[in-house]
Each structure stands twice: as structure tokens, then as C-alpha cells.
Chains A and B, each alone.
Chain A
């Protein structure tokens, strides 16, 4: 067992976990934050994306112990009373059907917007599609997800 402590959605948490515990299992099973999903468990689908120290990572492909001391944000940590602008954009643009991929899509979306804003690059439609390489949706056909991210990006920038 290893003792870990980190900040998740602004709250300090601490636990003794088995050394082979994946970050996603710690988040879902111990913290009971079940918004982070497991789609493939083989590092392909992106349903499990969370932010670790401000960067999007696949939480099924990281040990909880490796996140020791980190600042973690999950989908539950985005809304602040009202929906986060990216969540609102997914709702308004029909960026989801079953919703299974949506938490990962939104965590990848807010990460890409932050990176493109920081580097001053333009988040074009082509760039959004390229950035979604690691997020798989089996329902929507992606068009409305791309629309939602473009809309969410402008909402975030003007918020």
C-alpha cells in the first residue's frame, strides 16, 4: 500500500491505496466521482480524461500513486453553480447523444482551448478535429461535438 494525497476539484484528499491502483479507479471507486468514465480501458477512447496539474491525461493510463501531490480536476469540478461554458455549449449544440463519451470530450475540449489560448494559435475546425484524435464517440458522428467545442471556445474566451 502507498499513502497518497492530492487535491481533487479543489479539495484535499488522502488515502492508502494498493500500489497498482489506477488513477481512474481511485477517482471512481474511492472518491465516488463517477463522472469520469471507463470506455475501453486500453488507452484508446478518452472517456477517462481528467486534468492533472492542468493537463489532459487518460486516467486509466496513470497510477494513482503517480498523481501524488498533484492538482486533479474531473468533470465534476468544472461547473461552478452554473454549467461551465463548454458544458453549456455541448448542451446547446446537441454535442451528445448517450453522453458516455461526453465527460472526456469536455475535459479534452477545455484542455485544448487553454493550450491554444496560451500559445496564441487559432483553434480552427481542422485543429479541433485533429485534437480529438484520442476521444472516441460511438453515437454522434462528431459534427456536433466539433461545433460545440468551437462555440464553447468562444464562450470561454468571452466569459
Chain B
């Protein structure tokens, strides 16, 4: 890992001012993506601003069915929060299936969302739940936030402080994990709210997470696994790699969507 200067921020505004003084600084959250990337020499930031202990960016608050999760809340803390599990069990189950226990003890929702890995789990949840991503500057809707593979609407030096959403009437996530890495080969989050059904797919899109609008329309007609199984899913713009080709992933999208709807 190349040389760097380490800074520890105790809150979001301190973090934002620390990074503005750096040449090519990056925020360090749980480090479960960034540190392996740096060790592989795919990133070499001049500075790391450690936000994992930023006190105003940690914790879960729930009022009615509105949920707000601080960006530095770990996967383990989301998975194990009983109040959250009571209003939105699907997000707890999703967090509890990310990686392995040690990864879940360090990795955070903010880090995962900022990274926008095309196979990450949280982006599918936030897109399907119509979540809002709050930064030190503004609120961004999930529809606008996830721009492409590893790309988000974040500006340089902009820091995610929390994510919030209304718990859906029904919702579930179904993931077909790659047997070796446990990242999603395909993961589908299906949610039903007063505004209608939303279906988001991760692991499959060559531009990262996306909404499957044909399935949303079918579920608005009738919320049942058969509704999504009857939708034809094109393999255009889906990923092909050594783990599975686009046609295989297109079929998995249907199977995972039907499972998600059945479990919701």
C-alpha cells in the first residue's frame, strides 16, 4: 500500500473540511472495499479521512414507518437492530447476508452505497425502497444517485451522512450469491408501497443497479410471484462474465424476483 496521510474525523463537517485540504484524499469508512483496493494498487489516495467514528453519522432512528440509518452504521448493526426488524425486516435480512461476520462488523451502509459496486446488495434495497441519500450538501433520491457501475452522483469531497426511506407495506430481497465471493450473481429487491411496486436488480446490469419497470407494472396489476415470472427479461445490457452469461443472468432475474415477491 502506498504512503498516505491519515486523519480521523469526529463528525461529518470536520470530515468535509479535512478532505478539502488534501490533494487526492478519500474517505475511509469500514475499509472493507477501499483497503483491499489499495492493497491491490488499484487506488492510491494521498490522504485517508477516517469517518468510521463520526458520531453524527452512526445509528438508526425510526419514527412511525420512516427509517433513517446513519452512513457509518455497520452491516452487523443494521442486521441486529430489533426496532428496525419490526418495521422493515427485509433490510435487516439483507445486511445479515453481506459477506461474512468480520466484514459485517466493519463494513458500513454509507461505504457500500458510495462505492456502488454492480454486485453490491444495499443499492438494490435503496433503489427499490425509493430511499433518499443525504450528504453534507443535499438530499439525493436513489433514482438519481446510482449513476453507473461504481459511479454515483456524489461530487468530489461530498460525504454521505445518512440514508432514509419509508418502510414498505411489503418487501423482500432475494439473492443468488456467487458461491465463492458471496456477492450477488443476481439480487432482486421487490417492494410494495402506496405509490406502487418497485423492483430493483443488482449483480446483473452492465451499468450497475437498475429498476425492472416491466415487473413493476405487472406487480401493480397483481402482486404475485407469477406476475413477475410471466415478464420476459431481455439479456441486452446484462453482464456476461466467467460466472455466468447474460442469458443466464436474465433468467436469474426472473427467478430471484419471483422469490422476493413470494417472501415479501
Contact = CB atoms under 8 A, between A and B. Distances in A.
Interface of A: 2, 18-20, 22, 41-43, 46, 49, 55-58, 61-63, 65-66, 68, 108, 111-112, 115, 119, 131, 133-135
10 contacts: A20-B1, A20-B2, A22-B35, A42-B36, A42-B40, A43-B103, A55-B105, A58-B102, A66-B28, A135-B100
Contacts of A63: 6, 28, 31, 35, 48, 50
A53 B78 CA distance: 18
Contact of B100 (A20, A22, A46, A62): A46
Contacts of B5: 19
A22 to B, nearest CB: 8
| Closest A-B pairs by Cβ, 9 of them | A134-B100, A19-B6, A133-B100, A55-B105, A65-B6, A20-B1, A58-B102, A43-B36, A56-B102
B175 to A, nearest CB: 13
A134 B52 CA distance: 22
A131 B101 contact: yes
A39 to B, nearest CB: 13
Nearest to A40: B36
Interface in B158-211: 182
A42 B39 CA distance: 8
B119 interface: no
Contacts, number: 76
Given A43-B32, A61-B31, A19 B100 contact: no
B8 interface: yes
Interface of B is mostly: mixed
A61 B35 contact: yes
A20 B48 CA distance: 9
A56 B106 CA distance: 9
B1 A66 contact: no
Chain A CB within 10 A, most for which of B3, B99, B101: B101
Nearest to B180: A44
Interface of A is mostly: mixed
- Name the interface size band of chain B: 20 to 34
B39 A41 contact: yes
A57 B80 contact: no
B129 to A, nearest CB: 26
Contacts of A119: 80
Nearest to A18: B3
B4 interface: yes
B57 to A, nearest CB: 15
Contact of B36 (A18, A57, A61): A61
A62 B2 CA distance: 15
B106 A62 contact: yes
Contacts of B99: 133-134
B76 interface: yes
B36 A62 contact: no
Contacts of A111: 101
A19 B4 contact: yes
